[in-house]
Structure 1
Amino acid sequence: MAEADVLFSSVDGPVTLDMIAKAAGVGIGTLYRHFPTREALVEAVYRLELDALDRRAGALLEKYTASDAMQHWLDDYLRFVATKRAMQDALRVAITPGGDAASSVRLRISAIVGKFLSSGAVDRTLRNDVSPDDVTLGLLGMMSAATAASQSDQARRMLGLLLTGLKNR
C-alpha cells in the first residue's frame, strides 16, 4: 500500500492498478486478490491515513482548546486531501451515501470529529448541539468540491466558515 500512497500523492491524473502493481513489484493478479477494485485499494490507503489523522487529533486535543485543535486538524486534513489528487474520484465514491465503503469512511471521520465536538462541549469552545455526522458530511462535501490546487484558498475559506459555525458563542 505504500507504493499506492506514493503514486496517489505524486501522479497527476489516474493511477491504474497496473501502475501500482508495477511499483510494488507484484503481478496484477496478486494485487487483485488483495484489492478487487481500485476503490478497495483507495479505501485501504485512506484508512491508513485516517489512522494517522486520528492520532493527530488526540495529540492536538492534549495541547490546544477543542476549537483550536480542530482548526489545526482541519488544516492537516485539507493538506492530506489536496495531496491525494489521484484518489479524489475514488474517494467521492467512498463517501457517497449508500455503500459499505461510504459508511466505513464516514464513520471513521465522524468518530474523529466527535472527539473534537465532545472536547469542545467540555471546554465550551464548540457547540454541543451538532451531530458529528452532519459536520463530517459538510466537511467531505467541501473537500470533494474544492480540492483542486486552484481552489485551495476557497477550501480554506469554506473550512473557516464550517469552524465558525461550530464555535460556541
Structure 2
Amino acid sequence: MTADPLAETREKPTAAPPKRPRADAQRNRERLAEVAALEFAEHGIETSLEEIARKAGVGIGTLYRHFPSREHLVEVVYRREVEALSAAADELAARHPSDVALSEWMQRFVDYIAAKRGMANSLKLLSASNSELFSSSWGMISRALSRLLDAARAEGLIREDIDVSDVFHALSGIYAAPASPDWRDRSRRLVSLLMDGLRAGARRGRP
C-alpha cells in the first residue's frame, strides 16, 4: 500500500496561536489610558509620559507602541472618558432611583470635566483636525443626560421646566472655574446644589 504523504499532516493539526500576548497587550493599553486620564486630570497635559508608563507598570517603549504620540494618547483618553460617562447613565439608572442616578451621573461629570480641563490645549489642536470626534462625543453625552432627565421628570422627582441645555449651562460654569487645590471638592458641592434646585418644586419629591 502506498503511504499517504499527507497523513502525518492531517493527524497533527496545527495548534492555534497563543492568545496571551494579545490579551496582555490589550490590558497594557487599557491600563495606560486609565493612568493617563488620572495624570492629565491631576497634572495637566504636560505630565511626563515616562511617569504614565511607570505608574501603569510598563516601559516607555510599550507606551509608544500603543500611542505613537502624545496627541494620539490624548484622543484615546478623551474617547474613553466620553464612552465611560455615557455608559454610566444606563448603569446608574439600573441601580438607583431616577433622581439619584441623575445626581450620581452629574458627580461623575465632574471627573470628566477634570480630565478634559487637563487635556484642554491638546483638545483644541485636535478639534481643528477631527471635528467629528467632538460632535459625536457631545451627542453621546447629551443623549445620556437626556435619558436621566426624562426618567426623573416622568417620575415627578425633578421639576418639569428643565431641559438638557439648562443643565449643561449650569455645569459649564464648573468647567470655566479657575483651577485651585479644592476645585474638585468645590465642584462636587456645586453639583449637589444644582441637584437640590432640580428637586425643588418636583411633583412628588423624595421623602
5+ long unaligned stretches in structure 2? 1-28, 54-59, 202-207
Root mean square deviation, CA, Å: 3.6
Equivalence for 1:50: 82
Deviation digits for residues 97-142 of structure 1 (CA, Å, limit 9, x no counterpart): xx55543333222111101111012111123332213322432431
5+ long unaligned stretches in structure 1? none
Equivalence for 1:64: 96
Higher relative contact order (CA 8 A, sep 6+): 1
Equivalence for 2:68: 31
Q: Distance in 2 between matches of 1:72 and 1:49?
A: 16
Name the structure where helix makes up a greater proportion of residues.
1
Q: Distance in 1 between matches of 2:121 and 2:159?
A: 32
Q: Distance in 2 between matches of 1:18 and 1:159?
A: 32
Q: Are residue 14 (structure 1) and residue 64 (structure 2) matched?
A: no
Q: Which of 101, 114, 136 does residue 146 from structure 2 map onto?
A: 114
Q: 1:50/1:6 Cα in 2 relative to 1: closer, same or farther (>3 Å)?
A: same
Q: 1:147/1:61 Cα in 2 relative to 1: closer, same or farther (>3 Å)?
A: farther
Q: Distance in 1 between matches of 2:169 and 2:125?
A: 13
Q: 1:70/1:125 Cα in 2 relative to 1: closer, same or farther (>3 Å)?
A: same
Q: Distance in 1 between matches of 2:76 and 2:162?
A: 29
Q: Distance in 1 between matches of 2:125 and 2:196?
A: 28
Number of matched residues? Answer: 160
The percentage of counterpart residues that share the same residue type is 27
Q: 1:109/1:147 Cα in 2 relative to 1: closer, same or farther (>3 Å)?
A: farther
Specify the structure having the higher radius of gyration (Cα). Answer: 2
The one-letter amino acid paired with 1:71 is: S
- Please report the TM-score for the alignment, with normalisation by the length of structure 1: 0.68
1:93-112 matched pairs, under 5 angstroms: 100-112=132-144
Q: Distance in 1 between matches of 2:197 and 2:126?
A: 26
